[in-house]
Amino acid sequence: MEVKFNHVTLTYPNGVEVLHDMDFDITDGQLVALLGPSGGGKSTTLNLISGLLSATSGNIYFGDKDVTKQDALGRGVGMVFQNYALYPHMTVLDNIIFPMKMAKVDKSTRKQRALELAQLVRVSDQINKKPSDLSGGQQQRVAIARALAKSPNILLLDEPLSNLDARLRVEMREEIRRIQKETGVTTVFVTHDQSEAMHVADKIMLLNDGRIQQYDAPQSLYENPNNQFVANFIGEPALNVVPADQFDDEVRQLFDGDVATIGIRAEALTNEVKAPAIKMQAVVHEVLSFGRDRQAAISVGSHQLVATEVTTAAPLEQETTLFAALSGVYAFDQSGQRLPLRGDHA
């Protein structure tokens, strides 16, 4: 089901407007990640899609239908929250069956469907257990199966993996991706973990202070950020940010507009010539290895930078020339807006 927000705002009862002019489309069958820092407006946006909150102004459409005034039940959404909230006294199978029982689906059909869903989320061998006898990942699978039981128009997941350990998180995000592909259900997935969003989503909506910073394919957010906030939020290690006065005029003049800061991706900085690149004078302090990752501590003037592609061949503690590949160099104006390369208005 396609979802459309038309100039939606939300003001909480305390009078504070927390979402401003949200205008976007979610394509039918896609998985969209709502990403951003705490308080950015992710849960509020999700709850507007679900109908648990109603918009203060603007309109929300599911396909051609205006659902702005419809409640959660009428919208036919499936939801999974951070704390799985399975019914503790029911077996796994009964948990999955429950929403269909409420919807008065006949007995044999609902059992059949529950067994299929258990298979989809791979808990078929757990169906007679109580939730307390399952691992966190298994409980989360059951919660997804339960949310899918009524064949929802849209599946909404609010930080569904945040209670899981690092390895299980990675495994479960792949599982959510697989289940979403197999069912084709339009899915909105809230996370504050940029790497999680990059791995699961067809598109990422990055929110800050109740505004969309960028809504794009994951790789576009990384390669072509709209502004300094996006460039900073996406990618690990975080973007290096250096005031423009640390660079020659030549570098500043590569960009159209009044350059206030230059951002350099940690992976763009090298001690080996790579064209096209900008040159900079820097001091390499140390180069450390962490498994397959390498990290060099560098300074440019009084600014500390992190680089992942500076090798141990770089001389330490003396002024040296480093190169930053242009594809990983961004310029921003005073307000943090990205400035294009001169003659590059794509």
Ligand X SMILES: Nc1ncnc2c1ncn2[C@@H]1O[C@H](COP(=O)(O)OP(=O)(O)OP(=O)(O)O)[C@@H](O)[C@H]1O
* CA–CA distance, 104 with 100 (Å, rounded to integer): 6
- Name beta bridge partners: 303: 300
For residue 83, state whether it binds ligand X (rule: CB under 6 A): no
Q: Looking at 3, 5, 33, 36, which residue binds ligand X (CB under 6 A)? A: 36
Q: Which of residues 30-89 bind Mg ion (CB under 5 A)?
A: 43
Question: Which tokens in the block code for residue 257?
Answer: 């507009």
Q: Which of 264, 258, 291 is nearest to 278 (CA)?
A: 264
Q: Looking at 3, 5, 32, 44, which residue binds ligand X (CB under 6 A)? A: 44
For residue 78, state whether it binds ligand X (rule: CB under 6 A): no
Q: Looking at 3, 26, 33, 42, which residue binds ligand X (CB under 6 A)? A: 42
Q: How far is the CB of 66 from Mg ion (least distance, A)?
A: 26
Q: Which helix (H) or strand (E) holds 98?
A: helix 92-102
For residue 240, state whether it binds ligand X (rule: CB under 6 A): no
Find the helix packing angle between 136-148 and 166-183, rounded to 10°: 20
* φ/ψ of residue 251, rounded to 5: -70, -45
Strand 154-158, strand 186-191: pairing = parallel
For residue 41, state whether it binds ligand X (rule: CB under 6 A): yes
Position 83, amino acid = N
Q: Looking at 1, 9, 18, 115, which residue binds ligand X (CB under 6 A)? A: 18
Q: Which of residues 183-222 bind ligand X (CB under 6 A)?
A: 192
For residue 15, state whether it binds ligand X (rule: CB under 6 A): no
Q: Looking at 27, 39, 89, 342, which residue binds ligand X (CB under 6 A)? A: 39
For residue 54, state whether it binds ligand X (rule: CB under 6 A): no
Q: Which of 229, 242, 234 is nearest to 269 (CA)?
A: 242
Q: N- to C-terminal Cα distance for the chain?
A: 32
Binding site for Mg ion (CB under 5 A): 43
Where on the chain is the footprint of ligand X (CB under 6 A)? 12, 14, 16, 18, 36, 38-44, 192
